[in-house]
């Protein structure tokens, strides 16, 4: 099956300078919940892949990150969306691992678990590391300007790992994805106009980075 992979911080929820350490610090990016509902209505499975080095640094526990994810999934479901599964990399960048983006380990693990066709799938993120991870496995990639996205556009790494599309936010990314897939989206304009160009990984399966 094809699927949508999403980074978390800066795409689904607002970035925080001191990271999201507990649920009360988690704030959805405006329009993100509606965008997730549209993906679910279109029949596109959604997966979250996020770097959470604050676990490896001892800032928060793995249990705290998993509680945030459980609450996030519950809120998404309450608003008509669905996140199939979540992976996070808890490792500090100094640790050599295969799961921390730009490495594609989390995407590969999810692809095996859920039989995802990565070359028919999409990666949406706010950093060059997200785009590099997606491109490494053949996904089409969207950079959003929310979170760190606007400043990332100036980095040379993004020229080495170019996105297929730059969107204002997750809602704009969903417009483009649905257009590429030839799918309609309730409440939005005709999307055909948008055609164009664990070791320590944690799993949370719905129905229930870091950075």
Q: Catalytic positions, please? A: 7, 9
With 0-12 / 13-18 / 19 or more C-beta atoms within 10 angstroms meaning exposed / middle / buried, residue 81 is buried
The alpha carbons of the chain give a radius of gyration, in whole angstroms, of 16
Contact 144, 172 (CB under 8 A): yes
CA distance 99 to 92: 11
* Distance separating alpha carbons of residues 46 and 178, to the nearest angstrom: 13
Three-state secondary structure along 131-160? Answer: HHHHHHCCCEEEEECCCCHHHHCCCHHHHH
């Amino acid at each position: 099956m094809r699927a949508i992979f999403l980074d978390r911080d800066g795409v689904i929820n607002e970035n925080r300078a001191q990271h999201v350490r507990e649920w009360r610090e988690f704030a959805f990016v405006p329009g993100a919940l509606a965008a997730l509902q549209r993906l679910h209505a279109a029949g596109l499975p959604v997966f979250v892949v996020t770097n959470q080095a604050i676990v490896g640094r001892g800032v928060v526990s793995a249990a705290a990150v998993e509680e945030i994810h459980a609450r996030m999934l519950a809120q998404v479901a309450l608003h008509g969306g669905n996140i199939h599964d979540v992976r996070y990399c808890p490792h500090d960048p100094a640790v050599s691992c295969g799961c921390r983006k730009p490495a594609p380990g989390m995407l590969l693990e999810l692809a095996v678990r859920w039989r995802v066709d990565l070359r028919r799938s999409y990666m949406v993120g706010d950093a060059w590391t997200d785009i590099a991870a997606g491109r490494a496995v053949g996904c089409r990639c969207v950079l959003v300007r929310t979170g760190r996205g606007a400043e990332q556009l100036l980095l040379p790494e993004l020229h080495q790992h170019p996105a297929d599309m730059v969107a204002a936010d997750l809602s704009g990314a969903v417009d483009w994805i649905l257009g590429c897939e030839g799918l309609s989206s309730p409440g939005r304009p005709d999307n055909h106009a948008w055609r164009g160009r664990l070791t320590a990984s944690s799993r949370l399966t719905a129905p229930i980075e870091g950075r």
